[in-house]
A and B are shown apart, each in its own frame.
Chain A
Amino acid sequence: MLRHLTIALALGLTALPLAAPRAQAQDAPLRIEITDGVVEPMSIAIPAFHGDAEIAGRIRQVVADDLTGTGLFREIPSEAMIARPDSFDAAVAYDDWRAINAQALVAAEVTGAGEQISVKFRLFDVFAGQPQGDGMQFDARAADWRRAAHKIADQIYARLTGETPYFDSRVAFVQETGPKSARIKRIGVMDYDGANILWMTDSASLVLAPYFSPDGKSLLYTSFDSGFPQIRVMDVASVTSRPLTQGGDSMAFAPRYSPDGRWIAYSLEKGGDTDIWLMDSATGAQRPLTDSPSIETSPSFSPDGQRIVFESDRSGTPQLYVVGLDGGEPARISFGEGRYGAPAWSPKGDLIAYTRQLGERFHIGVMRVDGSDEKNLTESFLDEGPTWAPNGRVVMFTRVAPGGNGQPKLHSVDITGRNMRPLDLDFAASDPSWGPLMP
């Protein structure tokens, strides 16, 4: 079976029908729990993939980087390995892997030449002495080798954590160049790990805060190209955009799709007062969701699309509020010290991530949707704007260094706050928006 994707690539996945002995009834599959705040990562052996050394080596490295980047896995160095399987189908020498304390083992092979490649892999629970799940095969254009690698890593992550995966996904962001007082900003889209950057806008006009549609095919963003901030929508495949709001005497910004793509929540400013409005994405019809003399902005939909969390200073300082789509009185959910803003409702539905300013410091934090169990995940001079990985277990955000030459950089952190790392980009970037897991 070959599934054709819209992003001009064909990446089919096929469960291998060959002699992959099915796992017997696994009463306790090999499992690492994300939410525990992993102190001891699971050891995983990812020996050299079979096939052409060059392409197989690159794919293996991306798989290893995906897994170890989570902080949940420790890769066993190849020098420590005893077993040297000579083919993909060779019997697994479990004792040799047990001897070096490998808990999980990956075997893979890359075949094909020219434009098309196939990558197949199997995952083994070493101490149980059996495969964990079926073998799988991914067929892809050679140019899409990274996606094939992410798909394999996603399968391994999902089987070992019990969570849905997120490696085969993209992030929209804003590149920043030039002096702080006259920044040049440009929207780009990249793989979640910073590879394969595609530019969506040129540097002619100021652009802010892109937001991925649920299907990953378009981006909402705020542009000053008319001279005044207005919302535009960008088709990612064709890199063409059109305005969704028109100037007049008001300013529109902070657009977010509902999870079903039907609605766009955004901020509309009139005469200095900013409220949250809803737009029907099919008809363009608009109606206010809040009506208050205070500032209401940064909306984010719940996964069921029935509620919105947003930032408002109606109490005197910026705080987080939740309101139903049918209106009604918003309920305040943030009650800690300091200012709260830029909330993002987890796609899993259990948490809300936010930016918190406490004294002179900023934090990315998470709380339950009723405001309980608040927890700071990060701390710095200026951290802001969390966006969730498609599985709701990692957030990406912007960290800005202080001073006239201070640059923004993208970072990610998991919901335990233990595994924080900068994204490896060779330019300054801000305003990440994490898109969906790709099909």
Chain B
Amino acid sequence: MTAWMKPVSAACLLALAACAQPPAPTAPQVVDPYANTGAGALYQGDLAGGTLGAEATAQYFSTQVGDTVLFGAEQATLGADARAILARQAEWLNRHQNFSAVLQGHAEETGTREYNLALGARRAGAVQEYLIAQGVAAGRIRTLSFGKERPAETCSDEACYAQNRRVVTVVSDSGAGS
């Protein structure tokens, strides 16, 4: 189980995003939010859950939508898992037009510094192309590569390398749009 799979399933439930396998439809349950304690009715519902704009935050994007896609060694092609995450990212970006995104490409520590800078950029470019194809305006997305300078994991074996071959989408409220 990799680190990014958890937010994926959470996003399926919470964000009604375009998930590969949506949860099986169930009959809506009517629940009385008030429990009778004898001393009066106690509200047990979730007021915070209904707050408007709760998902329009960078934190929601990174934890619930999923901000990271992974790549194979020396590769910049998007696998099925990556495309599923990017579809949710695009959907979120299309709903929150006031956000812009920086795509940060990364590479593992093997390979020369400058080639890895270019490889991180190639990965970020592949993500950018996919998001644009999903309807996100090109002007809202910038790319950047850190090459091997900012590993997520620091061990020197494949378990870490696999986590470091990545593109992280960092969103910020640009104040533009609606």
Verify that A and B bind, or say they do not. yes
Specify which of B122, B124, B151, B156 is in contact with A295 (CB 8 Å cutoff): B122
Bound-state Cα–Cα, A298 to B110, Å:
16
Q: Within 8 Å CB of A209, what residues of B? A: 113-114
Whether A179 touches B113, Cβ cut-off 8 Å, given contacts A206-B149, A272-B125, is no
CB distance from B105 to the nearest CB of A (A): 8
Task: Decide: A272 and B124 in contact? CB cutoff 8 A.
Answer: yes
Partner of B114, one of A254, A382, A406: A254
Q: Which chain B residues border A210 with CB–CB below 8 Å? A: none
B145 touches A341 (CB 8 A): no
Chain A residues near B85 (CB, 8 Å)? Answer: none
A180 to B155: give the CA distance in the assembly, Å.
Answer: 10
Query: Is there contact, CB below 8 Å, between A180 and B154?
Result: yes
Residue B95 CB within 8 A of the other chain:
no
- Contact (A273, B115) CB under 8 Å given A181-B152, A228-B144, A251-B144: no
Q: How far is the CA of A400 from the CA of B119 in the complex (A)?
A: 20
Q: State in angstroms the CA–CA spacing of A355 and B115 once bound together.
A: 11
Per-residue CB proximity of B48-69 to A under 8 Å, as 1/0? 0000000000000000000000
A342 close to chain B: CB less than 8 A:
yes
Question: What's the minimum C-beta distance from B157 to chain A, rounded to whole angstroms?
Answer: 9
Q: Report the separation of the CA atoms of residues A271 and B144 in the bound assembly, to the nearest whole angstrom.
A: 10
Check A318 against B110 for contact (C-beta < 8 Å): no
Please tell me if the beta carbons of B114 and A311 are within 8 angstroms of each other in the complex: yes
Are A183 and B115 touching (Cβ within 8 A)?
A: no
Chain B hits for A229, CB < 8 A: 117, 144-145
Q: How many residues of B sit at the interface, in one of the four size bands? A: 20 to 34
Highest count of chain A CB atoms <10 Å: which of B111, B121, B146, B155: B121
CB atoms of B155 and A341 under 8 A apart: no
Check if A384 sits within 8 Å of B143, measured CB to CB.
no
Contact of A272 with B129 in the complex, beta carbons under 8 Å: yes
Contact partners of A273 in chain B: CB under 8 A: 122, 125
Most buried by A among B110, B115, B119, B146: B115
In the complex, whether A60 has a CB less than 8 A from a CB of chain B is no
Interface hub of A253, A272, A357 (most chain B Cβ within 10 A): A272
Contact A272 B115 (CB under 8 A): no
Q: Is B12 an interface residue, CB under 8 A from the partner? A: no
A274 to B122, CA, bound (A): 8
- Please name all residues of chain A whose beta carbon is closer than 8 Å to the beta carbon of B146 when the two chains form the complex: 206
> Smallest distance from the beta carbon of A370 to chain B beta carbons, Å?
22
Give the total of A residues in contact with B, Cβ under 8 Å.
Answer: 46
Q: Is A385 interfacial (CB-CB < 8 Å)?
A: yes
A273-B125, A274-B121 in contact; A431/B154 too (CB < 8 A)? Answer: no
B118 in contact (CB, < 8 A): yes
Tell whether, in the assembled complex, residue A298 and residue B154 are in contact, meaning their CB atoms are under 8 Å apart: no
Smallest CB separation, B52 vs chain A (Å): 32
Q: Is the CB of B150 within 8 A of A271?
A: no
- Does B154 lie within 8 Å of A181, measured CB to CB? yes
Cβ B117 vs Cβ A297 within 8 A = yes
Nearest to A296 among chain B residues (CB) is B118
Is A385's CB under 8 angstroms from B113's CB? yes
In the bound assembly, the distance between CA atoms of A249 and B121 in angstroms comes to 12
User: Chain B interface secondary structure, helix, strand, loop or mixed?
Assistant: mixed
What is the CA–CA distance of A406 and B151 in the complex, to the nearest angstrom? 13
Check B113–A208 contact: CB distance below 8 A. yes
- Hey, what's the 0/1 contact readout for B149-165 against A, CB within 8 Å counting as 1? 11111111000000000
Convert A351-371 into 0s and 1s, putting 1 for each residue whose CB lies closer than 8 angstroms to a CB of B.
000010100001000000000
Q: Does A91 contact B (CB under 8 A)?
A: no
CA distance A298 to B150 in the complex (A): 20
CB pair B128 A384 closer than 8 Å: no
Q: Give, as a whole number of angstroms, the nearest-CB distance from A170 to chain B.
A: 21
Query: Which residues of chain B are within 8 angstroms of A253 by Cβ–Cβ distance?
Result: 114, 117
Let me know if B149 and A382 touch, CB within 8 A.
no
Smallest Cβ distance from A357 to chain B, in angstroms?
Answer: 6
The answer to the question of B76 belonging to the interface, with a C-beta cut-off of 8 Å to chain A, is yes
Counting CB contacts under 8 A, is B126 at the interface?
yes
Within 8 A of B (CB), among A139-179: 179
Contacts A183-B149, A342-B112, A357-B111; A267 near B128 (Cβ below 8 A): no
User: How near does chain A come to B100, taking the closest CB pair, in angstroms?
Assistant: 13
Is B149 in contact with A269, judged by CB distance below 8 angstroms? Answer: no
8 Å CB contacts to A: which residues of B70-102? 74, 76
Q: Is B125 a contact of A382 with CB atoms below 8 Å?
A: no
Which residues of A have CB within 8 Å of B126?
Answer: 272
In the bound assembly, the distance between CA atoms of A251 and B122 in angstroms comes to 11
Chain B residue with minimal CB distance to A180?
B154
Complex interface bits, A398-420 against B, C-beta within 8 A gives 1, otherwise 0: 00101110100000000000000
> Is there contact, CB below 8 Å, between B128 and A271?
yes
B140 close to chain A: CB less than 8 A: no
- Contact A269-B156, Cβ < 8 Å, known A295-B115, A311-B112, A318-B115: no
Knowing that A208-B117, A295-B118, A311-B112 are A-B contacts, what are 5 other residue pairs whose CB atoms are under 8 Å apart, sorted by A's residue number? A180-B154, A267-B118, A272-B125, A357-B110, A382-B109
- A contact residues vs B (CB 8 Å cutoff): 179-183, 185, 206, 208-209, 222, 227-229, 249, 251, 253-254, 267, 269, 271-274, 295, 297-298, 311, 313, 317-318, 339, 341-342, 355, 357, 362, 381-382, 384-385, 400, 402-404, 406, 431
Which positions in B face A, CB cutoff 8 Å? 74, 76, 109-115, 117-119, 121-126, 128-129, 142-146, 149-156
The 9 closest A-B pairs by CB, nearest first: A272-B125, A404-B154, A402-B156, A341-B112, A274-B118, A180-B154, A295-B118, A342-B112, A254-B114
